[in-house]
Homo-oligomer: A and B are copies of this chain.
Amino acid sequence: MSEGGNGNGLVQLTAKDFKSDQEVRWCPGCGDYAILNVLQGFMPELGLTRERIVFVSGIGCAARLPYYMQTYGMHSIHGRAPAIATGLAVSRPDLSVWVVTGDGDALSIGGNHLIHSLRRNVNLKILLFNNKIYGLTKGQYSPTSELGKVTKSTPMGSLDYPFNPLSIAIGAEASFVARAIDTDKKGLTEVLGAAARHRGSAFVEILQNCNIYNDGAFDFVREEKGNRIYLESGAPIRFGAEGEKGVVQDVDGSARVVDLGEGGEDGLLVHDAGQREPSLAFALSRITFETDGAVPLGVFRSVERPVYDDLMSEQLETARERSGEGDLETLLHSGDTWTVES
């Protein structure tokens, strides 16, 4: 049950209830379909009636998603969804507000709104569909594309070192950070559930295949399940087809993948998403396919922190307690007044 809602009685909805009457218009084979399905399947778990849920998106292929959800929705402008959603969530704490965005939408034009909504800990669930490319505009590189990427706008290879979406989110004081794969129904559903339960900003990176402009970008973990490092709080971080690998921490605080030797799980890093200090989550975010040949999935960080929306509501209450409900007449007559006789 999400804490975003007030849980007004039992609601028995199914995935079908969350399908809108609009035809889904992504390219056949696009990873967005898988995400949409999981999301529609997950929605009933929120335990909210549909009118209490709002999807806000920017612009991009991913950003079309709200049209397909039988909830309230806004397909807004490029990069601005977190700002718009902030106004909505802050003024309507009774709603469950979700932001759907792409790697370009969230990290290129919208980077500033994203990091500010994270530091404020606004009660938003932010789903970033990372396909490492600009899909809608036909295949230019994005801020998550790897250095040297050849695309329409970089015929000789891109020059910009990419962002690591999780590192930047953690650097921006995010209270909840997670990662999942489009086609990994179980993993994605779990992460969505954790995000929904977290009060405050929840940032979820979803690795998504764009089969038209960047096909196979995540095959190393989408197809090769042995490269998935599922993080579980309280457990030593272990993975591989036979659980033959693990993650340890170096003296300098960085984390890296090792082959399990004789010692078994001894010395493996024990995950703790609830740790207040973000250094562990940050170190884990640095484990990538490029550095370690494997990718952590699941919840990296989930800590409680005062929620912007709540704090604001509290100030309003306090102010009313102190001064009473504002009265217009009194306000207009405040300060010195004088009378002109007729």
> Which A residues form the contact surface with B (CB < 8 A)?
108-112, 115-116, 119-121, 143, 147, 156-157, 159-164, 167-173, 249-255, 272, 275, 277-280, 282-283, 286, 305-306, 308, 311-312, 315, 318-319
Contacts of A311 in B (CB 8 A): 159
Q: Which residues of B contact A167 (CB under 8 A)?
A: 171-173, 278
> Which residue in chain B gives the minimum CB-CB distance to A170?
B171
A-B contact pairs, 13 of them (CB 8 A): A115-B163, A115-B168, A119-B161, A159-B308, A161-B305, A167-B171, A249-B253, A250-B277, A252-B272, A252-B277, A253-B255, A253-B279, A277-B286
Q: Which of B160, B250, B283 contacts A119 (CB 8 A)?
A: B160
Report how far A135 CA is from B331 CA in the complex, Å: 30
Contact of A171 among B161, B162, B255, B282 (CB under 8 A): B282
The 9 A-B pairs of least Cβ separation, nearest first, read A171-B171, A253-B253, A254-B277, A112-B112, A254-B279, A111-B112, A159-B311, A253-B279, A279-B283
Q: A173 to chain B: closest CB distance in Å?
A: 6
Copies in the complex: 2
Return the contact of A280 from the options B109, B110, B160, B253 (Cβ within 8 A): B253
Chain B residues within an 8 Å CB radius of A147: 306
With known contacts A164-B173, A171-B167, A253-B253, A315–B159 Cβ distance under 8 A: yes
Interface pair A120/B283, CB less than 8 Å apart: no
A254 cross-chain contacts in B, Cβ below 8 A: 253, 277, 279-280
Instruction: Please pick, from B120, B282, B308, the residue contacting A282 in the complex, using a CB distance under 8 A.
Output: B282
Tell me if B156 and A315 are in contact (CB < 8 A): yes
- Inter-chain contacts of A250 with B (CB < 8 A): 277
The docked-state distance in angstroms from the alpha carbon of A112 to that of B279 is 23
A139, B319: Cα distance in complex, Å: 22
User: Contact between B278 and A252 (Cβ–Cβ < 8 Å)?
Assistant: no
* Bound complex: CA A286 to CA B318 (Å): 32
Indicate if the CB atoms of A278 and B272 lie closer than 8 Å.
no
Closest to A109 in B: B112
Least CB separation from A114: chain B residue: B112
CB pair B159 A163 closer than 8 Å: no
Q: Kindly state the separation between the CA atoms of A154 and B282 in the bound complex, as whole angstroms.
A: 32
Q: A168-B168, A252-B279 are in contact. List 17 more A-B contacts (CB 8 A).
A: A110-B112, A156-B319, A159-B306, A161-B305, A162-B173, A163-B173, A167-B278, A168-B172, A249-B252, A249-B253, A252-B272, A253-B254, A253-B255, A254-B279, A255-B279, A278-B282, A279-B286
Contact partner, A111, options B111, B164, B305, Cβ 8 Å: B111
A19 to B279, CA, bound (A): 43
Nearest B-chain residue to A305, judged by Cβ: B161
**Would you call B279 and A161 a contact (CB within 8 A)?**
no
Q: Given A111-B115, A116-B111, answer yes or no on A121-B253 (Cβ-Cβ < 8 Å).
A: no
In whole angstroms, how far apart are the Cα atoms of A311 and B169 in the complex? 27
Task: Across the interface, name the chain B residue whose C-beta is closest to A285.
Answer: B171
Is the beta-carbon distance between A318 and B156 smaller than 8 angstroms? Answer: yes
Q: Which residue of B lies closest to A154 (CB)?
A: B315
Q: CA A277 – CA B291 in complex, angstroms? A: 10
